[in-house]
Every structure is written in structure tokens, then in C-alpha cells.
Structure 1
């Protein structure tokens, strides 16, 4: 498994966690939106790894956008959900491509 796939699994799982209704939002609000900044950094790292390894980068780009608009109620939840699904599918496909 390559580094970009590992980071996609991690960021996808974290995005999925933030998408849990009430729990993710409550934690993000209680920590004063710090998790969104951390996720922004993680998505940028994942994007740079994907670029250097020649892997797809659309999940990381959407993650960066999600981190920037995640503070908007409703929109944030929707974006976290979509980004989590996209990143996890992308990580799975990258892993399958390596096995073949």
C-alpha cells in the first residue's frame, strides 16, 4: 500500500467521523473549529502525496474545499459525508490497482 492510499484511508475515516450527526458537529464546535484546520492540513498532505505518486487527487481537492466550508451547518455535514465516501472509494480503488 502506498502513502497516498494510507492517507486517503485516514482522511476518509476522519471525514466520516465528522459527518456523524450531532457528534461530529458538537466536537468541531467545542474545539472551536480546530479539527477543520487539522483536516485542511491533512488533505493538503494527501494531495501532495497523490500528485507525487501519480494517483487520483479529486478526493483530496474536495477535502480541502470541505475544510473551508465545513463550518456552515448543513453544508458542512453534506460535504463531510460526500468527501468521506469519495476518499474511501478512492483509497479502495488505489489499493486494488496495486494488487493487480
Structure 2
């Protein structure tokens, strides 16, 4: 698997953890909102990797937006869930695209 796919999966897993009701909120608030900063830079790193590999990066942009607005309780929960789904779907599509193009050659 390519690095961009792994980066999307890892970012998606972080978002999935933060989307767990109550637990995600406790993680964020209990650590002084530091996890949102960490996840923002994780999405930024994923974005850079995807741009360099010429793969889709929209889900990483969504993740960065989520990290910026996730301090709003219900909105944060909703966006973490949606971002997680978007990252997993994007990772699957990228992996499928990579395997299709490599099998054609």
C-alpha cells in the first residue's frame, strides 16, 4: 500500500476515536484541546503526502476544517464522524486506483 493510503487510514482512525461520544470529548477536553492541534497537523501531513503523490486530498482538507471547529460539542462529534468516513472512503478509492493502474501496466 502507498504512503498516502496509510496516512489516510491513520488519520481516519484518529478521527474515529474522537467521534466516539463522551470518550472523544473527554480525550479532547481532558488534554486541554491538544488532540485537536495534533490531529490538525496529522491532516496537514496527510495533505502534503497526497499532493506529492498526486492523489485526492479533499478528505484531508475536511479533517483540517474539522480540527478547527471541533471545539463545538455536537458539531465536533458530527464532523469527526463524517471526516472519518470520508478518509476511509478516500483511502479505499486511492488504493483501488493504485492497484488498477499498476495491473494495467
The TM tier, using the shorter chain, reads: over 0.9
SS in 2 for 1:93: helix
SS in 2 for 1:74: helix
Spell out the pairing of 1:21-60 with structure 2 (5 A cutoff).
Answer: 21-60=21-60
Q: Which has the larger Rg?
A: 2
Spell out the pairing of 1:85-100 with structure 2 (5 A cutoff).
Answer: 85-100=85-100
Cα distance in 2 for partners of 1:70, 1:30 equals: 14
Alpha-carbon RMSD across the aligned residues, in angstroms, is 0.6
Cα distance in 2 for partners of 1:27, 1:37 equals: 13
4+ runs of 1 displaced by more than 2 Å? none
For residues 64-94 of structure 1, the C-alpha deviation after alignment (integer angstroms, 9 at most, x for no partner) is 0000001111010011000000000100111
- Using the size of structure 2 for normalisation, the TM-score is 0.93
SS in 2 for 1:32: coil
Q: How many residues end up aligned between the 2 structures?
A: 100
Cα distance in 2 for partners of 1:14, 1:93 equals: 19
User: 2:46 aligned with 1:72, yes or no?
Assistant: no
Cα distance in 2 for partners of 1:4, 1:32 equals: 29
Can you give the 5+ residue segments of structure 1 that lack an aligned partner in the other structure? none
